[in-house]
Amino acid sequence: MRGIVTIDGPSASGKSSVAQRVAKALGVPYLSSGLLYRAAALLALRAGVDLGDEEALLPLLQASRVRLLPGEENRVLAGEEDLTPHLHTPEVDRVVSQVARHPGVRSWVNARLKEVPPPFVAEGRDMGRAVFPEAPHKFYLTASPEVRARRRAKERPQDYEEVLRDLLRRDRLDQAQTQPAPGALVLDTSAMTLEEVVAWILGHLQD
Ligand code: DC
């Protein structure tokens, strides 16, 4: 596998776990774009800047020396600090869409992703449509909000109802950038196991 595989979809659609396993099976790194948006949100929260103020956010990101370390698992460093353990929290979940809406933040994330030489599997919302439109293999995973909330509730210190509420809110806020790329293969994973989704994608990559 020499090119780029993109796997997009809404939050908790399973795309991170699937992308990780597909990349491992192909022997290439995987890239989580969501992790970079989460890093931007964390830095903004820590600095106490107005999340709606792009002019205040961008210098903060540019000064942060953030790097994505691709691999079997992704890590995000800011200078010497590993931000990864702080990125999947309810606090970051709640504000990340607000930060990800700014065009300047999106360009900043996309520039970090484009620093990585292919081949790789890139996972996010707009990898196939906006960031790597030249990718020869594009997938888009969906699942019902209830299934996604059940999956996410296992990873968060919140109950199912609260997770579902947050998830529906984030779906609404992320809607503009969460669309299948033209030509992407779309798969509803609601009734599928992780292994079945991975096998389905690997099967299509062999075609
Ligand atoms: O995939 P995730 O839930 O970790 O993504 C975190 C947030 O980042 C999500 O609310 C939407 C945003 N995001 C985005 O706008 N574009 C991407 N390519 C990836 C994530």
User: pLDDT digits over 139-155, tens only?
Assistant: 999 999 999 999 989 88
Mean pLDDT over each residue of the chain, to the nearest integer: 93
Q: How far apart are CA 38 and CA 20, in angstroms?
A: 18
Predicted pLDDT at 71: 81
Q: Which CATH code fits 4-206?
A: 3.40.50.300
What are residue 204's DSSP bridge partners? none
- Tens of pLDDT along 45-57? 999 999 999 999 9
Q: How far is the CA of 207 from the centre of ligand 1 (A)?
A: 29
| Every domain of the chain and the residues it spans | 4-206
How many angstroms does the Cα of residue 115 sit away from the middle of ligand 1?
Answer: 19
Confidence of residue 88 (pLDDT cuts 50, 70, 90): very high
pLDDT value of position 207: 67
Residues with CB under 6 A from ligand 1: 11, 33-34, 37-38, 96-97, 100, 124-127, 170, 174, 177
Q: Tell how far the Cα of 124 is from the centroid of ligand 1, in angstroms.
A: 6
Q: In 10 A of CB 171, how many CB atoms?
A: 16
